[in-house]
Structure 1
Amino acid sequence: MSLREIRAESFRLSILIALLNEPSYRMNDSEIRTVCAHFGNTMSADECRSQLAWLERQGLVTTESHTGYTIAKLTSSGQDVAEGIITWPGVKRRRA
């Protein structure tokens, strides 16, 4: 596995955990980047949007655009991955 793939998997898990910890399970891409940076996963705006698009294609989040921001919402499958109940190819496995 390449460093790029390892980083992408880590970014995806961080995004899911960020959404899981938000009471509404919703957050815009700027907020997601800030929270993920606290997890040690600093990413550009383009990287964040790219990972959100990937997560949406997998059915782990839904997204909508609003005034220049991408709003992401965690799905039930995304919640299961973020909580470590299930694993998902392409998303880093949650550790205890």
Structure 2
Amino acid sequence: MSAYQDTLSKHRRLTILKFLSDSPEYTSNASILVDVCNSYGVATTRDQVMGELDWLSEQGLASVTDNGLFRIATATSRGVEIAEGKTRHSGVQRPRPGP
């Protein structure tokens, strides 16, 4: 993976975690996450979101379940802490301070 792709992945992961942390019950589906990433200027495909969700799950930052046609992600407590900047993970971009 190139340095640019690595940077995009870190930003994509942060975008996903921040959205999940602000979502009701910390949950969303993959289709919505694709739209969210793209709306925040992080060019993203469905395959990329699926890969990031797998990675976030492996790291214990989100739980992921397949529900037939939908893949549903829920942020864990640690994932929310990272989204809020309270803790760090080398594979997730650190959020900027402030609102």
Q: How far 1:33 sits from its partner (Å)?
A: 1.1
User: TM-score, length-normalised on structure 2?
Assistant: 0.92
Query: What percent identity do the matched residue pairs reach?
Result: 32
Indicate if the aligned counterparts of 1:18 and 1:36 stay in contact, CA closer than 8 A: no
Gapped regions of structure 1 (runs ≥ 5): none
User: TM-score, length-normalised on structure 1?
Assistant: 0.95
1:29-40 paired onto structure 2 within 5 Å: 29-40=30-41
Q: How far 1:23 sits from its partner (Å)?
A: 1.8
The equivalent residue for 1:59 is: 60
> Which letter maps to 1:51?
E
Q: Which has the higher mean CA deviation after the structures are superposed, 71-80 or 39-48?
A: 39-48
Moved over 2 A (4+): none
Q: How many residues align?
A: 96
The equivalent residue for 1:44 is: 45
> Which letter maps to 1:52?
L
